[in-house]
Amino acid sequence: MLRIAAAALVLAIGSGVASAQETDASPAPQLIPLAELTSLVHMKSAVLAGSILRAGADGEAIRTGHVARLAAFIGSMRAEADRTLLASLSREAATAVKSLALDVDPAAITDLLLGAGLDSVEVWRAERLAPDWLAFASALADLREATASLGPERVCPVKAENWFTDNWGDDRPGGRAHKGIDLTGARGVPVQAVEDGVVVQASWHRQGGRQIYIRADSTGDVYYYAHLDYWEKWIWTGTRVHAGDVIGTLGSSGNADSPHLHFGWMPGSRRVDLDDLQNPYPLLLEICPNNDPPEEFLAWQE
């Protein structure tokens, strides 16, 4: 179980370079069965119930109990579950399974999958995975409900419609790898502080363009925003921000071909330390709703 937990939760740490965007590539993790992911979620719930949700737990107990990492944990479970589903099902079949209500009547699953327009072979594959998916999704929903009032407030870094995929580790010129996630949206839409914190750097870089680093008060996480078209005039080193404060606008400054926010994450580092960069995709999955890429992009990938 410990080996499985490590495979699911450990995020690769790259070596630092001048920009926070690109370092050496990392191997992809192996698939994890849905039943094992469900066990990991139940284990996390049990740990929280035993140490944090007990009566009288204080703020320090909450922080040391890793509630600050809960959003990333939930997002990592979702990402792993998606990978596992898509390894066995078409994208349409996986979407149909994920759309099933948690309290669905098991006898109705086949008809619901047929109603989604799947062929008979897809329905056969999907209905075999549906019970494991529903058990996993239910465990995740229970964990969210039990911890809804805990941990720091976090918001999506782009305050408008946007989409992203897990492009962490993608190849870049010079044998480097992409060390962040690109959130694609319209030029000029607002970009906001993810958490309450302090601006530790606002500067220009030939690759990152207009870039801002913010250190969160509660978690010590450092968030990196790159390729901004503009940052607010009140943004300086030492400026205090709150979750949801607009700090700039999405753009393509620096080494960028189109408008997007390159978002980097250094969990718990408390300073700009590029060796601490980790994949923010699981965190973004949890804090950014409606993030699905457009159908034409998915079709192009396939």
Its domain, for residue 247, covers 171-301
Percent of the chain with pLDDT over 90: 64
Q: What Å distances lie between residue 100 and 30, 55, 120, CA to CA?
A: 26, 35, 18
**pLDDT value, residue 61:** 53
- 126 pLDDT more than 70: yes
**pLDDT value, residue 289:** 82
CA gap 39, 159 in Å, rounded: 34
Please indicate, yes or no, whether residues 128 and 185 belong to a single structural domain of this protein.
no
- 73 pLDDT more than 60: yes
> E strands of 229-269, at which residues?
230-231, 240-241, 246-249, 260-266
Q: Which of 146, 161, 188 is the last residue of a domain?
A: 146
Please indicate, yes or no, whether residues 291 and 214 belong to a single structural domain of this protein.
yes
What is the domain count for the chain?
2
DSSP string for residues in 44-93: HHHHHHHHTSSTT--HHHHHHTTGGGHHHHHHHHHHHHHHHHHHHS-HHH
Closest CA to 113 of 132, 95, 137, 96: 96
Please indicate, yes or no, whether residues 97 and 180 belong to a single structural domain of this protein.
no
Residue 152 in domain: no
Least confident of 46-50, 61-65, 201-205: 61-65
Q: Which residue has the higher pLDDT, 179 or 61?
A: 179
DSSP string for residues in 24-44: ---PPPPP--HHHHHHHHHHH
Please indicate, yes or no, whether residues 186 and 290 belong to a single structural domain of this protein.
yes
**pLDDT value, residue 153:** 86
**pLDDT value, residue 239:** 95
Per the prediction, the chain carries an average pLDDT of 84
